Structure 1
Amino acid sequence: MEKSYRLKSLGVTLITLCFGLFFLNAQSDFKTYQGTVIDGVTEEAIELASLNVLKTNISTISNSEGAFTLKVPEAHLNSKLKIAYLGYNSYVIPLSELENDKAVIKLYKAVTALSPVSISAFKNAERLVRKIFEDKHHNVGTPSVFMTAFYRETIKRRNRNVSLTEAVVNILKEPNTSQQRDAIQLSKARKSTDYKRLDTVSVKLQGGPFSTIYMDIMKYPEYIFTDKSISGYQFSFDTPSVINNRSVYVVNFVPKSEKQPIKYLGKLYVDVESLALVSAHYTLDLSDQKQARNLLVKKKPRDVIVYPLEANYRVDYQQKGDQWYYSYSNLNLTFKVNKKRQLFNKVYTLASEMAVTDWEVNSEIKRIKNKDRLKPTVIITDAISGFSDPNFWGKYNLIEPNKSIESAIDKIRKNIKKQKKRENKNTANG
């Protein structure tokens, strides 16, 4: 009989250890563009550059190798594409100039110089951070919004992929002023887990897309910054930056006391003009291994100890008009599982990310029916058949897989072909 042990939600992360042996209107006609975003000087790949079709909400991001795939409905083929990344000048190019499937887009670092007025406006970094949350109703999108997003989750044991989950989801994003939580509907998904590689321990991300949507700290500030918790951090200004050709404050934060049970440190990127949060990059302080021991654990067997080794988080926002909307988030968690009477510890890395690829203001107050809503405790079940179809995603935009994920997908496809051959052979012999 299978037993499940859940690990405690730390901010937005919830894991399950199992000992034993898982809206928006469709567009039928579209064109696909592919390319790579690189630094114009070093020619190094730029990861997580945003690509947005102007005068629409259609977008995608580049992967860890700078590669992107963008699917654009025929009605917008005469549009322009805007490419932006933090610290770089944004770049606009007509889609017609991306005819080559191997287009290379070069971005160049911006030189930032804030005016004396901007610098003197906030001499106290903590006061700026408090202002962000106090006045968020001026900047953060207030209407209800329907979003389409692409979600990917990978689990590795050491350096080997052992589980891959991908999904397109519909999100009913409730206003930030509302007490209602966002609702998620699964539109299309595929998943494959190599249980042999997992041996006797199966690691799953419980909550799936919820693990990333709860990183929207403007909607869910309770996971990191509240009126009380802000006082527990030391804030300081770093060198300012630029995104979308707009000046950005960069604020560092570190915990004031080593005695805090949960300590984060990182950077906040704040638009100088609107004081809206543009991006947040932060990590969980795990320097005290004794204190961090079992920190993520909610429930586990007595003979198991979990040591978090690394926990990193990121959330990004996109501007539309004078409002800012959630656009991307990711988490990367590495931990060691030590089971008594086993000679070797097992090290796992879990990565989860979600990118909004299209959205519209919910002017008609559409809802997602209760029966269609994913639960925050969901674990997406295995559905490997989708990996055998290279056109599985159809019209949907996605985060282009990097070489590691491409290799995993190829391996899954080969295993499916082998399985089908065996089935056909058995049928013929039968």
Structure 2
Amino acid sequence: MKTFNFFQLKSVKLLAFLIFLLLPVYLFAFQQQNQKNYTEYKGMVVNSQNDDPIASALISVNRSNISTITNAAGEFVLKVHDSLTPVIVNVSYLGFSSKNLPLDYFKDNNRVELVESVEKLSEVNIFNAKDARTLVEKMLTQKDENYITDQTLMTAFYREIIKRRRTNVSLSEAVVKIYKKPHNTRRKDLVSIYKARKSTDYDKLDTLALKLRGGPFNSLYLDLIKYTEYVLKPEMMENYEFNFDDPTKIDDRYIYVVNFEEMDKSTPWYFGQLYIDAESLTLVRAKYKMDVDDRDMATRMFVKKKPTGSKVYPVELYYEVDYAEKDGKWHFSYGNAIMEYVVNWKRKIFNSRYTVNSEMVVTDWEKYSDSEWKENADLIDPYVVMADDISGFYDKEFWGNNNIIEPEKSIQNAIEKIKRNMKKE
């Protein structure tokens, strides 16, 4: 029988010890190298007819789950891992014909012109639905057929901007991980923050009320397919009025446009538009508002805490949600909530007006079955107030290979101001 002598045993232990010491270093180096194995592509999406920028256009990489959207100036940055190339990039927006472009196109060009859909949509040949209410009810009953029913782990970019009138007074950005529960369960989605940065000018942000409703859940709860208890509750469909608007196209799909409005006006009520795919009866987009003319009721709903000597109430609430498709199944893709508040002070002549803009875009996702994820992740509360951490604004490589929404000019100016203030310190 072959045996180890004392020196052989010492050598094995030493080797194991060295591996123990060097493995974390190697893994870190590998991770750093792996994070750099991507290429960044920049572009701008405009209307071919008048050169106007197209905001919130979807930029997605075919045969993958990678996507992003354009900012208010129509600009985008898309980061693609080198192992995926060559690929085709799809650019689409409501009312325009989509475009498929090779990724290499963006090496020499940064301009994508989308052409407005001028095709006359025939209600006789394409659209068969006659009753808007019945169409919406069918859409809700076919969720299992049209949407992903697996639990998924999503990577998303979240941005929250608070403005006092036209001035940015708070900017928060984060890459978050979303443990997305199936829409046919009552279990809530879970969120952890992977990377985040924030800066707030508290001299200009003179109310704490706005901080309470912030965080990624503001955008996540807009998922009408998952959270029907907020809007379009199936058992309360008789409380809504429905009617057809002019049909349209999204990404070369024929789309019903259905107007909806709550009939009970005794409390703040919802109204807006649903965009439903004519072939599959899938909800692909929704744009809606909440009427908050009843200030007292709206205050009780949205303001949990306010500064002493003030009255705080929302004056406008706007929501938008988009869904994306892969392999015949749809999933939550983008959520945007814009909330405008007024703060009236007892001892001040002029009031303060704030706008909170929370938007989140899913940049990647995968099916996920590990039930231990929530125990290992640093989960955040739905009423999270993101901690102040401005270090990331100075780091040009802060986001690494994570896809984000390109900052628009006003936000970019705010970031540059933060950088200058940090240098002074």
Aligning the two structures, in what range does the TM-score lie when normalised by the shorter sequence?
Answer: 0.7 to 0.9
* Cα displacement (A) at 1:27: 4.1
* Cα displacement (A) at 1:130: 1.3
In the TM superposition, what whole-angstrom CA distance separates every residue of 1:376-419 from its partner, at most 9, and x where no partner exists? 12111000111111111111100000001001000000000011
* Cα displacement (A) at 1:290: 6.6
Q: Structure 2: where are the runs of 5+ without partners?
A: 1-33
CA distance in structure 2 between the aligned counterparts of 1:86 and 1:239, rounded to whole angstroms: 13
> Where does residue 373 of structure 2 map in the other structure?
367
* Counterpart amino acid of residue 36 in structure 1: M
* Counterpart amino acid of residue 255 in structure 2: V
| 2:72 maps to 1:72 | no
Secondary structure class of the residue paired with 2:373: coil
| 2:179 maps to 1:172 | yes
Secondary structure class of the residue paired with 2:302: coil
In the TM superposition, what whole-angstrom CA distance separates every residue of 1:27-64 from its partner, at most 9, and x where no partner exists? 43000000100011111100110011111111110011
Structural mapping, 1:146-185, within 5 Å: 146-185=153-192
* Cα displacement (A) at 1:298: 3.4
8 A contact 1:312–1:333 mirrored in 2: yes
CA distance in structure 2 between the aligned counterparts of 1:290 and 1:187, rounded to whole angstroms: 38
| 2:413 maps to 1:418 | no
8 A contact 1:114–1:247 mirrored in 2: no
8 A contact 1:212–1:352 mirrored in 2: yes
* Counterpart amino acid of residue 152 in structure 2: V
> Where does residue 224 of structure 1 map in the other structure?
231
Distance 1:69 1:42, change over 3 A: same
Distance 1:273 1:69, change over 3 A: same
Structural mapping, 1:30-429, within 5 Å: 30-100=38-108, 103-110=110-117, 111-114=119-122, 116=124, 118-119=126-127, 121-199=128-206, 203-206=210-213, 208-259=215-266, 261-287=267-293, 292=298, 295-300=301-306, 303-362=309-368, 367-369=373-375, 372-419=378-425
In the TM superposition, what whole-angstrom CA distance separates every residue of 1:267-311 from its partner, at most 9, and x where no partner exists? 000011110100000011134557656552334467422232211
Q: TM-score of the superposition, structure 1-length normalised?
A: 0.87
Distance 1:347 1:376, change over 3 A: same
**Alignment RMSD, CA only?**
2.1
8 A contact 1:112–1:241 mirrored in 2: no
Q: TM-score of the superposition, structure 2-length normalised?
A: 0.88
CA distance in structure 1 between the aligned counterparts of 2:372 and 2:254, rounded to whole angstroms: 36
Tell me which protein shows more helix as a share of its residues.
2
* Cα displacement (A) at 1:88: 0.9
How many pairs are equivalent?
393
Bigger radius of gyration: 2
Distance 1:73 1:131, change over 3 A: same
CA distance in structure 1 between the aligned counterparts of 2:303 and 2:321, rounded to whole angstroms: 24
8 A contact 2:394–2:419 mirrored in 1: yes
* Cα displacement (A) at 1:140: 1.1
